Amino acid sequence: MPGPGNGIDALAGIRVVECGDMVAAPFAAKQLADLGAEVIKIEPLGRGDAARHRGPFAGTVDPERSGLFLYLNTNKHGIAVDLERPEGREILRRLARDADLVIHDVAPARIEACGLDDAALRAENPRLVVTSISPFGLGGPNRDRRMHDLNLWAAGGVASLNGGGPGSEDMPPLKGFGQQAGFQAGLNAAVASLGALYASLGSGEGQLVEVSMQECLTSILEMAYEFYPYMGLTASRLGHKPIQPLDFLECKDGWIFICCVEEHQWQRFVELAGSPEWATMELFENRLTRAANWDALQIFLGEYAAEQTVEELYHAAQARRIPFAPVSTMGDLLGSEHLKSRGFFATVDDGRGGEVVIPGAPYRHSATPWRIRKRAPRLGEDTDRVLAPLGYEPGEIARLRASGVIG
């Protein structure tokens, strides 16, 4: 296998300018930065990226120590620029002249005012890729609607698939934890941007890449959407599961997810449970009847699980090739021997003299592994260093700072 060689990064030398807020564009650019791209992140003066104010915080609120921001902005350089001022847009224009990719999640109605018009930027740099992430894309009747992450999760059709199941009509469609619409958009934007960058390596031609956050979510509805065009059925969070067991059970010390999709998995589980008498009941003879009679089966299984510990049941099931999983707590993940052995978590400087443990990237490239080269930037930390090579003299930089164009 090629050694993790020579310290060469997959995306070394690729220059990215990010105008991102919260999750979508910052996460897209982070993936590129972690693989070696040189990312310059532009933030507004004063407040900076909204993720700086989200936390989690260790103790007091500190925009330089927001967990979400520290994670999403590893390996980036940070500058603070007011893009709504002409001198600010001029800085962006000069940066884009030497860049391979500009990636942003600025609302469509504000793109031009922020100097992010792709045609103008590409006129000076034909190889430039400009990626725009927005709630509904750059065209269509919903283009300018205001959306936060939860609204997008609803608009993309994911929320309506999740809830308490049969009998919980009064409980609303339920989101997944965190800012997941932003993460999904960031994943799609990374794929699309890398595709366009790959093309530009060959053709020398950049282009506009447009990502619709709503569409990103509609593209991951598993089979739920297709039930409508194929069968006229509308999937609902209130439906019964067609097969069981495929559910959560409470053990002595936490929760486990039990999963017997195939008959052999069920048989091995029954053995593991000591072949109790209830397992021979006709009600539970196959996965369909186990689902139809889940109310009854759940009671027996619940009594069994209540006597077990999560770890013991998980490993005992897996030793028999039964795909159970613990309902991992955050503490479980951080303590996992498996994840330690794979070196998943990374430790980064928190910019205040401390350290913070963050999730790593989920892949290991044999020749060009991702790595942390740099902690997330403080607001405006690299402004002077980035502006100097663009032709800004120290006096000019001081004047721009004094007049509130840069920070």
Q: Which of residues 49-68 bind another protein (CB under 8 A)?
A: 53-58, 67-68
- For 269-329, give the secondary structure using H, E and C: HHHHCCCCHHHHCHHHCCHHHHHHCHHHHHHHHHHHHCCCCHHHHHHHHHHCCCCCEECCC
We find the least distance from the C-beta atom of residue 219 to another protein, in angstroms, to be 5
Closest among 246, 192, 195, 194 to 219, alpha carbons compared? 192
Query: CA–CA separation, 325 vs 35, rounded Å?
Result: 31
Q: Which is nearer to another protein, 102 or 192 (CB)?
A: 192
> How many CA atoms are closer than 13 Å to the CA of 295, on its beta-carbon side?
5
Q: Does 148 contact another protein by CB under 8 A?
A: yes
Applying CB under 8 A, among 7, 323, 394, 404 the residue interacting with another protein is 323
Q: Which is nearer to another protein, 308 or 368 (CB)?
A: 368
Q: Which stretch binds another protein (CB under 8 A): 86-94, 147-155, 281-289, 293-301?
A: 147-155
**How many chain residues touch another protein (CB under 8 A)?**
148
Applying CB under 8 A, among 142, 275, 286, 403 the residue interacting with another protein is 142
We find the least distance from the C-beta atom of residue 19 to another protein, in angstroms, to be 18
Phi, psi of 354 (to 5 degrees): -115, -170
Q: Does 334 contact another protein by CB under 8 A?
A: yes
Reduce the DSSP state of residue 250 to 3 states and report it.
strand
Q: Does 302 contact another protein by CB under 8 A?
A: no
Q: Which of residues 70-89 bind another protein (CB under 8 A)?
A: 70-72
Q: Which is nearer to another protein, 160 or 383 (CB)?
A: 160
Q: Does 327 contact another protein by CB under 8 A?
A: yes
Applying CB under 8 A, among 91, 106, 121, 159 the residue interacting with another protein is 159
Quickly tell me which residue has 């689902």 as its tokens: 291
We find the least distance from the C-beta atom of residue 323 to another protein, in angstroms, to be 4
- The one-character DSSP state at 165 is -
Quickly tell me which residue has 């020749």 as its tokens: 367
Query: CA–CA separation, 277 vs 281, rounded Å?
Result: 7
The DSSP string of 81-98 is B-TTSHHHHHHHHHHHHT
Reduce the DSSP state of residue 169 to 3 states and report it.
coil
Q: Which of residues 351-380 bind another protein (CB under 8 A)?
A: 356-368
We find the least distance from the C-beta atom of residue 134 to another protein, in angstroms, to be 12
We find the least distance from the C-beta atom of residue 273 to another protein, in angstroms, to be 18
Q: Which stretch binds another protein (CB under 8 A): 85-93, 282-290, 328-336, 390-398?
A: 328-336
Q: The tokens of 251 are what?
A: 């053990």
Q: Which of residues 193-232 bind another protein (CB under 8 A)?
A: 194-199, 201-203, 205-212, 214-216, 218-231
Query: CA–CA separation, 407 vs 392, rounded Å?
Result: 14
How many other β-carbons are positioned within 10 Å of the β-carbon of residue 66?
24
We find the least distance from the C-beta atom of residue 154 to another protein, in angstroms, to be 4
Q: Which stretch binds another protein (CB under 8 A): 41-49, 174-182, 276-284, 380-388?
A: 174-182
Q: Which stretch binds another protein (CB under 8 A): 40-48, 104-112, 149-157, 392-400?
A: 149-157
| Buried b / exposed e along 356-385 (16+ C-beta atoms within 10 A) | bebebbeeeeeebbbbbeebbbbbbbbbee
Q: Which is nearer to another protein, 365 or 385 (CB)?
A: 365
The answer to whether the CB of 96 falls within 8 A of the CB of 88 is no
